[in-house]
């Protein structure tokens, strides 16, 4: 049973949230519906931004990257979950589990960093509007995104390599919909205290530093908006930030439900919170960003009408 890795196991069992066959059927159709909505919504956002020149601005460049991240995130986890819900064989290989974990860490980190970058973009747009074109130049935007991607890839690789040092024995039953670091550490029979400490320390830096950037950006944004004399101008300025604030609240709210707790504790609340940040948040983001955004409404309308017109003349 020993493979080339140090775990001493060949696979894990992804049991999901429930072992009841009736509940698994309900969850299959629920996850399939949410997955299709998530894929369609994020693809439409990416296509609308790509093909509409009006949206070739820093804010929408960051939004397109956020949508790509969400699309990749659900594709990393949900297809395997759907297969497991319809199959008696719920095994996932050790390599497959670590691969899933790598992309999970990488993409959650990337989401976090992009949200911080978007907050900085809103700060410059509202607090330093005359300098916006030069302060958020295309070169700087590409540099910021490159840093976000590079840090995310390296952090995901770092934590995944740490997990290869963990030894697993006994039951390898994962009551989650994917391979998640906290759950894997709970299954370990080797001493994981050092790894857990490193994870908490680096995780706090990776996640709370961007959160600090967001908080400071919005403190300055609110101060700047309160100085605007016109009520309509205040509303317009606040409305440009509302969508971002809603996504940040949903993202950090669901993550904190899972990770801001002791390692050894586990309850059904963890599984529900996992579904929230793994499925619901990526599904809701396109709706939140397009619901009250006139520019996005126009771009989506032109995109869909253009496709319909091509079918008619085709």
Angle at 98 between CA 92 and CA 103, to 5 degrees: 110
Residue 240, SS3 per DSSP: helix
Q: What is the pTM of this model?
A: 0.86
268 class by beta-carbon count within 10 Å (0-12 exposed, 13-18 middle, 19+ buried): exposed
Query: How do residues 253-285 score in pLDDT, each as one tens digit?
Result: 877 776 666 655 555 556 666 777 788 888 888
Query: How does pLDDT run along the chain (314 residues), one tens digit per residue?
Result: 344 444 444 688 787 777 777 888 888 898 999 999 999 999 999 998 998 888 899 999 999 999 999 999 999 989 988 888 888 778 888 888 899 999 999 999 999 999 999 999 999 988 888 889 888 999 999 999 999 999 999 999 999 999 888 888 766 777 777 888 877 888 888 787 888 888 888 988 888 899 999 999 999 998 888 888 877 777 777 777 888 888 888 888 877 776 666 655 555 556 666 777 788 888 888 888 876 677 777 777 787 776 554 555 55
37's enclosing H/E stretch is: helix 21-51
What DSSP state is assigned to residue 130? Answer: G
Of 107, 12, 18, the closest CA to residue 66 belongs to: 107
């Amino acid at each position: 049973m020993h493979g080339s890795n140090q775990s001493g196991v060949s696979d894990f069992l992804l049991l999901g949230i429930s072992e009841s066959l009736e509940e698994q059927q309900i969850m299959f159709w629920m996850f399939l519906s949410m997955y299709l909505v998530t894929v369609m919504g994020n693809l439409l956002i990416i296509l609308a931004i790509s093909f509409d020149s009006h949206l070739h601005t820093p804010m929408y460049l960051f939004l397109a990257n956020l949508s790509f991240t969400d699309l990749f995130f659900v594709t990393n986890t949900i297809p395997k979950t759907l297969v497991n819900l319809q199959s008696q064989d719920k095994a996932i290989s050790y390599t497959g589990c670590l691969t899933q974990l790598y992309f999970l860490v990488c993409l959650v980190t990337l989401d976090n960093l992009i949200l911080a970058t978007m907050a900085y973009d809103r700060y410059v747009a509202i607090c330093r509007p005359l300098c916006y074109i030069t302060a958020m130049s295309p070169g700087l935007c590409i540099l910021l995104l490159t840093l976000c991607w590079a840090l995310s890839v390296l952090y995901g690789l770092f934590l995944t390599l740490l997990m290869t040092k963990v030894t697993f024995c006994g039951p390898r039953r994962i009551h989650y919909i994917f391979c998640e670091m906290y759950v894997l550490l709970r299954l370990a029979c080797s001493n994981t205290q050092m790894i857990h400490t490193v994870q908490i320390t680096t995780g706090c830096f990776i996640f709370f530093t961007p959160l600090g950037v967001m908080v400071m950006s919005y403190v300055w944004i609110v101060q700047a908006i309160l100085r605007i004399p016109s009520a309509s101008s205040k509303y317009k300025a606040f409305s440009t930030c509302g969508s971002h604030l809603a996504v940040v609240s949903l993202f950090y709210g669901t993550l904190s439900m899972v990770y801001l707790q002791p390692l050894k504790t586990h309850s059904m609340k963890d599984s529900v919170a996992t579904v929230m940040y793994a499925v619901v948040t990526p599904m809701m983001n396109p709706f939140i960003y397009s619901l009250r955004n006139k520019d996005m409404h126009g771009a989506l309308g032109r995109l869909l009408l253009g496709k319909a017109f091509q079918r008619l003349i085709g």
